[in-house]
A and B are shown apart, each in its own frame.
Chain A
Amino acid sequence: MMRERRVLSPYTKSVLHYIALTIVSVIWLIPVYAMIINGFKSNLEVASSPVLVPPSHPTLSPYMAVAHVLETPIINSLIVAVIASLLSTILGSMGAYFFYVLSNSYFRGSGMLSNFLFSLIALGTFIPYEATLIPLTRFIVDINLLNSYPGLIVSMLIFYIPTAALLMSLFVTVVPKSLIEAARLDGAGDVKIFFKVILPLVIPGFISTLIFIIIESWNNFFLPLVLTTTPSMRLVPVAVEAYTGGYGTLYNETFAVATLASLIPLIIFIFLGRYFIRGLVALGGAGKGV
């Protein structure tokens, strides 16, 4: 099989390789680039300036103009996303450890129970939220939590506890069985083993799951759209939607809003991106590699 065709030097190949990746990356970054530069354009410039051209005289005025609009939504989103993701990750991790215990115990119906529960958490993770709209709204109204932080948090827990259980059930598999058996011989119950033995060992997976759910809940548009009724309760993605405004408006403020709304997920992504990526990998059931 020693066929030699066009022979490119390894150096040329490597250069072409990087050029190809750079082209893909540049195309992929165009929207992010547009988002960041256009918030710095003045009202005067924006009327004629194409979206991909950087500002000639950068100004902070669009950011000043929109900052107060996003102030409340950002605080709301922080409260909801942080509480919902912490609760989801802790409670979901407990569920994940239960799956681990269940898959190593053999009693009548354990296999069926495990399959049923696992299907349920997968459904919670991937179900189109929109399709739960009417009963979900009714449920939140019935428990008197419409348009409140607890209402938003409860609605998110319905979808994100399953997500956390799904992701964590992959991270928990790395814990060796012998450790659990040793703890059991010492007389510890599974709840205690979870907090004392398992949780400390799966901290990287725990952080990945937490980061993944913070970003998902921060970016969730549909749940706050239908479960909040007053502007003061709005979360960031819904507040952003008010800035679509049509093409008649000036776009610099639109982009300033987009940048401010993305600031927290972007900062998390830049500094803790590898955890987010590991969370995504777990979502696909492939805990190894990357």
Chain B
Amino acid sequence: MKKTSFLLILPTAIFGAILLYIVFYNVAISFTNWSLLHPIPSFSGISSYANVIHSFYFPTSLIHSLELSGSAVIFGNILGIGIAGLLYFLSSNKARTFFLSIIILPLAISMAVNALIWLWLYNYNLGVNWLFLRLGLPYVPWLTSTSMMMPSIIIIAIWAYTGLPALFYLASFLGIDKSIIEAARLDGASSFKILRKILIPNSANGFIVSTALLFLFTFRIFSIPYILSGGPTNIFMQTLVVFSYYLFTTEFFAQASALSTIIILIATAIVIPYALYGIKRWIKK
């Protein structure tokens, strides 16, 4: 390896350095008291962290974030396995790609647009409730009842991101040696049994990737609660990232940075093990 080889990494390294600078700059701000009332920041230890954690909004937004990401991980994995199973046993490759594309389609549309569409689908009289009425189901008070607000967001997230687990489980399933499945077939095993006994137990990689990505992508969902509630102030839809934006707009800069540091720590705790043990081993080969 020559010295000039390092030129290759230079652009990535420069922008990586900017990213690190931003992350550490953020940590530095979080140890000050910078806000509308203190326009000239001065060092104040961990008081911003204490203020943020003891604020009324922190526990609720933390719970909302965990509810959102936790539900997306659970239901995403379950639906992903189900859909991947249905796709795996299709005999036609064309049909498989076609149905898979439909499940992945929401990932190509902006979350801001998705939020806009669902805002109307959740309309009490004109939205999906209209269909529910015709199917003999009760009306659901989607965005009109505070207890239904987070479930409404979770449904959008599941709809938007289930394409990922479906894709990764399908990739895992397709990577399993065909001869094992042929042998099970000859033994008279049903498709469902093959899924349960062979495909799922051999899809640890699909599970790791799906879980990590579902968590990371839903953890940073911003536009859905922001657009459904018309801003960052509705506490029933406030997730951690929305709360930090709220602190920013109300000019509690140090507190916003303290919360951002917490958010980055949570994300990093998943990203780094995932990067080093989940993805990087594929590159070593």
Contacts and interface: CB of A to CB of B under 8 A. Distances in A.
Interface string A207-250: 00000000100110110000000000000111011011011000
A204 interface: no
B280 A118 contact: yes
B180 interface: no
10 contacts: A31-B114, A32-B105, A98-B8, A122-B274, A131-B26, A219-B109, A219-B111, A219-B113, A284-B168, A290-B170
Given A30-B121, A290-B171, A266 B109 contact: yes
Contacts of B108: 215, 219, 265-266, 268-269, 273, 276
Contacts of A276: 104, 108
Contact of A244 (B101, B116, B219, B267): B116
B278 to A, nearest CB: 6
A38 B92 CA distance: 34
A222 B223 CA distance: 8
Top 8 nearest A-B pairs (CB, nearest first) are A95-B12, A122-B275, A128-B220, A285-B279, A91-B11, A219-B110, A135-B25, A284-B209
A191 B174 CA distance: 36
A145 interface: no
Contacts of A162: 12, 15-16, 19
Given A20-B86, A28-B105, A162-B12, 17 more contacts: A21-B99, A28-B159, A30-B121, A98-B5, A125-B271, A127-B220, A128-B220, A130-B263, A133-B256, A161-B12, A162-B19, A189-B5, A190-B1, A191-B7, A237-B113, A255-B120, A273-B101
B283 A100 contact: yes
A285 to B, nearest CB: 4
Contact of B110 (A103, A240, A288): A240
A277 B101 contact: yes
B272 interface: yes
Interface in A266-287: 266, 268-269, 273-274, 276-277, 280-281, 283-287
A95 B109 contact: no
B245 interface: yes
The A contact surface, by secondary structure, is helix
A280 B15 contact: no
Interface in A118-159: 118-136, 138-139, 157-159
A168 to B, nearest CB: 10
B19 A120 contact: yes
B18 A158 contact: yes
Interface string B33-58: 00000000000000000000000000
Contacts of A261: 110, 112-113
Interface of A: 1-5, 17-18, 20-21, 24-25, 28-32, 34-35, 38, 49-53, 91-92, 94-95, 97-103, 105, 107, 115, 117-136, 138-139, 157-159, 161-162, 165-166, 169-170, 173, 189-191, 194, 215, 218-219, 221-222, 236-238, 240-241, 243-244, 246-247, 251, 254-255, 257-258, 261-262, 265-266, 268-269, 273-274, 276-277, 280-281, 283-290
B167 A91 contact: no
Contact of B126 (A28, A49, A262, A273): A49
B193 to A, nearest CB: 9
A52 B135 CA distance: 14
Nearest to A47: B126
B103 A166 contact: no
A159 B216 CA distance: 14
Contacts of A289: 170-172, 174-175
B21 interface: yes
A31 B2 contact: no
Contacts of B16: 117, 120-121, 124, 161-162
Contacts of B227: 241, 244
A290 B87 CA distance: 11
Contacts of B261: 131
A169 B267 contact: no
A35 B113 contact: yes
A171 to B, nearest CB: 10
B179 interface: no
Interface string B74-88: 000000000100110
A221 B110 contact: yes
A94 B12 contact: yes
A276 B107 CA distance: 10
B271 A126 contact: yes
A51 B130 contact: yes
B63 interface: no
A138 B25 contact: yes
Contacts of B276: 115, 118-119
A234 to B, nearest CB: 12
B242 to A, nearest CB: 8
B9 interface: yes
User: Most chain-A Cβ atoms within 10 A of its Cβ — which of B110, B175, B245?
Assistant: B110
B207 to A, nearest CB: 11
Interface string B219-236: 110110011001000000
A210 B178 CA distance: 33
A45 to B, nearest CB: 12
A91 B121 contact: no
